[in-house]
Amino acid sequence: MPQFTGFPLTGLDFYEDLEADNSKAFWTAHKQVWETSVRDPMQALMSELEPDFGPAKMFRPYRDVRFSKDKTPYKNHQGAVVHTSPGAGFYVQIGAAGLFIAVGLYGPTPAQLAQLRTAIDNEVRGVELENLLAGLTAAGYTLGGDRLVTRPKGYPADHPRIELLRHKSLTLSKDFGAPAWLEKPRAAVEIRKAWEELRPAAEWIAAVTG
């Protein structure tokens, strides 16, 4: 595997152009740019981070349009995930806007969602999560995920962690944009640093849903 040297800005330009012309003709004419500026650097990055976080899965660049009203054939970003439990893990993405990093529980099964809410309800586990989230949001990460409009069944409206209990998925993320280090080897250092900061949250999620 070639050494990771950064994400070339030509990759970001590729996705900006793809957003303007998401067609097979454009993709075919510019596929080599995607391969050299997006795919190959992402593979090299994942290989470099594997000893610390585990093997990664790169997502396909093609959209599944079978059940979508949006029939554009290609994704406007390239993502990769290191799973810590089914439906959960570390995530990194490159697109027109630059670098995006996250951890979380993205598509829980009903059983996992029940496990998550049981842990949030617990006075020890729930407070532990609250403290983790407080520290990470103070460090600049954004708490996200799909949420119920109302409270989940079985939990009182005045529960001290009702806002967390409303979550149907749970993520922590940060948009880094396109800093000068993105196209340099330092990008691997910064991504590793972010994932390490997020590791306690990833481990908490894996422990209660894995």
pLDDT in tens, 188-206: 999 999 999 999 999 999 9
Q: Is 153 exposed, middle or buried (0-12, 13-18, 19+ CB in 10 A)?
A: exposed
Structure confidence at residue 152 (pLDDT): 95
Structure confidence at residue 38 (pLDDT): 98
CA dist., res. 91 & res. 191, Å (int)? 10
Structure confidence at residue 4 (pLDDT): 97
The pLDDT tens digits along the chain (210 residues) read 789 999 999 999 999 999 999 999 999 999 999 999 999 999 999 999 999 999 999 999 998 888 788 889 999 999 999 999 999 999 999 999 999 999 999 989 999 999 999 999 999 999 999 999 999 999 999 999 999 999 999 999 999 999 999 999 999 999 999 999 999 999 999 999 999 999 999 999 999 998
Structure confidence at residue 26 (pLDDT): 97
Residue 199's φ and ψ, nearest 5 degrees, are: -55, -45
Structure confidence at residue 199 (pLDDT): 97
CB count, 10 Å around CB of 112? 20
pTM for this entry: 0.94
Q: Given phi > 0 = left and psi -120 to 50 = alpha, else beta, which region is 7?
A: beta
Structure confidence at residue 204 (pLDDT): 97
Structure confidence at residue 30 (pLDDT): 97
Q: Which CATH architecture has domain 9-209?
A: 2-Layer Sandwich (3.30)
Q: Which of 179, 40, 37 is nearest to 99 (CA)?
A: 179
Structure confidence at residue 61 (pLDDT): 94
Structure confidence at residue 180 (pLDDT): 97
Structure confidence at residue 155 (pLDDT): 95
